[in-house]
């Protein structure tokens, strides 16, 4: 097992560090930047179904559901396709309205999650076209779907999902860009710019990983917190949810993710000097609005940990700590802002002596309802 961990203390840490390569493996052979082409056979072969779809319905559970939420922003923003994101378990029992005009996208690392599989079967029985985004090749979901795209992240052993999440977002971004091009909802120059930026993501993730020692220090300061709040807006709202989930899963600290602007409708009541609040406040995502959210937290004495763009000044003045990440376009920022949140939960869990790779009560794949 030590050999499999490749010199890392835990699989989770190894998998966090594998992300630059995993993301690259995901777009390798699919993103041909010089020709400005995205090649995904599962999309190409079914282009009519995608283009005729009145809406996309994404079904997933856990971290994969968070990737689905990021995808909602990407598909709507770039390809102008209405998207609904559903917990597979709710969708399947709700007598949902589905028709042949719908494209259902099922996202699953393992490809074995019982609720997601059942949701797929239901959607198929109503005539929808079902596309799978799975990591495990030949898994039940990969076989049950009409077409799909693998994430090629390599085996993910740690129960808390990390590289599966970022590679799912990568696949979904490629799909959105391909469909946007086909629909003409993106200009040729914006499209090319996105391809260029996507190719720069692995090295930016690499750079984000360099904050590891700083994140470990921050983890030490907050490891005994009872609660933790994660805030983000736009594309980074799902990242806040995912950051909170990671902390809950492996450190057993109660954490909630919230859209930053919703804070005033509830969570603000919880803020005092004992409450750490992780705020994603990168430059391209409603920055000024997030800064004013941070001011509200500060005036209530909350402890602020800002995830900011390199060279940030404003948040630095207000926050107790900042973790810098490289600048990127807003739509690709979740691939980068997620990294410090993964590392923060990892270090807190390690410092608390928790079983990082196999947290209590959780399973890597949930094959029962
Ligand atoms: C379990 C795992 C999570 C995962 C979720 C969905 O809860 O512990 O890490 O996100 O299942 O799994 P899937 O394999 O469908 O992505």
Give pLDDT tens digits along the chain (369 positions): 888 898 999 999 999 999 999 999 999 999 999 999 999 999 999 999 999 999 999 999 999 999 999 999 999 999 999 999 999 999 999 999 999 999 999 999 999 999 999 999 999 999 999 999 999 999 999 999 999 999 999 999 999 999 999 999 999 999 999 999 999 999 999 999 999 999 999 999 999 999 999 999 999 999 999 999 999 999 999 999 999 999 999 999 999 999 999 999 999 999 999 999 999 999 987 899 999 999 999 999 999 999 999 999 999 999 999 999 999 999 999 999 999 999 999 999 999 999 999 999 999 999 988
Most ligand 1 atoms within 8 A of CB, residue of 62, 67, 117, 155 to mutate: 62
Q: Is 48 a catalytic residue?
A: no
Residue with CA closest to ligand 1 atom 4: 62
Query: Residue 121, by phi and psi: left (phi above 0), alpha (psi -120 to 50) or beta?
Result: alpha
Does residue 63 have its Cβ closer than 6 Å to ligand 1?
yes
Residue with CA closest to ligand 1 atom 7: 62
Does residue 62 have its Cβ closer than 6 Å to ligand 1?
yes
Residue with CA closest to ligand 1 atom 3: 62
Q: How far is the CA of 244 from the centre of ligand 1 (A)?
A: 15
Residues 6+ apart with CB under 8 A from 340: 208, 211, 215, 307, 323, 325
Atom of ligand 1 at shortest distance to CA of 136? 14
Q: Which residues of 264-299 are buried (b: 16+ CB within 10 A; e: fewer)?
A: eeebbeebeeebbbbbbbbbbbbbeebbebbeebbe
Q: How far is the CA of 173 from the centre of ligand 1 (A)?
A: 20
Does residue 366 have its Cβ closer than 6 Å to ligand 1?
yes
Task: Give the per-residue pLDDT at 209.
Answer: 98
Residues 6+ apart with CB under 8 A from 291: 281, 314, 315, 318
Atom of ligand 1 at shortest distance to CA of 161? 9
Q: How far is the CA of 187 from the centre of ligand 1 (A)?
A: 36
- Give the CA radius of gyration of the chain: 20
Identify any residues that bridge with 149 across adjacent strands, giving them in sequence order.
Answer: 133
Task: Give the per-residue pLDDT at 234.
Answer: 95
Q: How far is the CA of 332 from the centre of ligand 1 (A)?
A: 22
Residue 135 CA, distance from chain mean position: 14
Interface TM-score (ipTM) > 0.90: yes
Identify any residues that bridge with 238 across adjacent strands, giving them in sequence order.
Answer: none
Q: How far is the CA of 366 from the centre of ligand 1 (A)?
A: 7
Does residue 114 have its Cβ closer than 6 Å to ligand 1?
no
List, edge to edge, every strand of the sheet that includes 254-259: 254-259, 227-232, 276-281, 303-309, 321-325
Task: Give the per-residue pLDDT at 284.
Answer: 85
Residue with CA closest to ligand 1 atom 8: 364
Task: Give the per-residue pLDDT at 3.
Answer: 84
Distance CA 245, CA 255 (A): 7
Task: Give the per-residue pLDDT at 285.
Answer: 76
Q: Looking at residue 191, what DSSP letter applies? A: H
Does residue 89 have its Cβ closer than 6 Å to ligand 1?
no
Q: How far is the CA of 81 from the centre of ligand 1 (A)?
A: 26
Atom of ligand 1 at shortest distance to CA of 159? 8
Does residue 345 have its Cβ closer than 6 Å to ligand 1?
no
Does residue 142 have its Cβ closer than 6 Å to ligand 1?
no
Does residue 328 have its Cβ closer than 6 Å to ligand 1?
no
Identify any residues that bridge with 223 across adjacent strands, giving them in sequence order.
Answer: none
Does residue 64 have its Cβ closer than 6 Å to ligand 1?
yes
Q: How far is the CA of 109 from the centre of ligand 1 (A)?
A: 7
Atom of ligand 1 at shortest distance to CA of 363? 8
Q: How far is the CA of 278 from the centre of ligand 1 (A)?
A: 23
Distance CA 58, CA 60 (A): 7
Q: Which helix (H) or strand (E) holds 253?
A: none
Atom of ligand 1 at shortest distance to CA of 249? 8
């Amino acid at each position: 097992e030590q050999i499999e961990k490749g010199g890392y203390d835990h699989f989770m840490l190894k998998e966090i560090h594998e992300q630059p390569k995993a993301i690259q493996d995901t777009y390798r052979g699919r993103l041909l930047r010089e020709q400005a082409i995205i090649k995904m056979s599962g999309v190409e072969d079914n282009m009519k179904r995608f283009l005729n779809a009145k809406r996309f319905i994404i079904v997933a559970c856990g971290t994969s559901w968070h990737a689905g939420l990021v995808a909602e922003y990407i598909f709507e923003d770039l390809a102008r396709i209405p998207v609904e994101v559903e917990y597979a378990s709710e969708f399947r029992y709700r007598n949902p309205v589905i028709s042949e005009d719908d494209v259902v996208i099922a996202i699953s690392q393992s490809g074995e999650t019982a609720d997601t599989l059942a949701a797929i079967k239901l959607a198929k029985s109503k005539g929808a076209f079902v596309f799978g985004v799975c990591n495990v090749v030949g898994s039940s979901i990969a076989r049950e779907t009409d077409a799909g795209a693998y994430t090629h992240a390599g085996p993910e052993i740690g129960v808390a999902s990390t590289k599966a999440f970022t590679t799912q977002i990568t696949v979904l971004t490629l799909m959105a860009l391909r469909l946007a091009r086909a629909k003409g909802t993106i200009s040729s120059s914006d499209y090319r710019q996105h391809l260029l930026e996507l190719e720069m993501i692995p090295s930016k993730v690499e750079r984000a990983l360099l904050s590891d020692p700083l994140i470990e220090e921050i983890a030490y300061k907050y490891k005994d917190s009872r609660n933790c709040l994660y805030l983000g807006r736009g594309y980074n709202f799902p990242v806040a949810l995912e950051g909170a989930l990671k902390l809950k899963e492996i450190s057993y600290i109660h954490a909630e993710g919230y859209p930053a602007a919703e804070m005033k409708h509830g969570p603000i009541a919880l803020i005092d000097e004992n409450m750490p609040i992780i705020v994603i406040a990168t430059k391209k995502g409603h920055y000024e609005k997030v800064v004013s959210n941070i001011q509200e937290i500060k005036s209530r004495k909350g402890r602020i940990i800002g995830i900011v763009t390199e060279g940030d000044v404003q948040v630095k003045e207000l926050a107790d700590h900042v973790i810098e990440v490289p600048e990127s376009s807003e739509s690709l920022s979740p691939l980068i802002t997620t990294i410090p949140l993964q590392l923060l939960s990892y270090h807190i869990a390690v410092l608390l002596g928790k079983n990082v790779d196999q947290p209590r009560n959780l399973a890597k794949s949930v094959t029962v309802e």
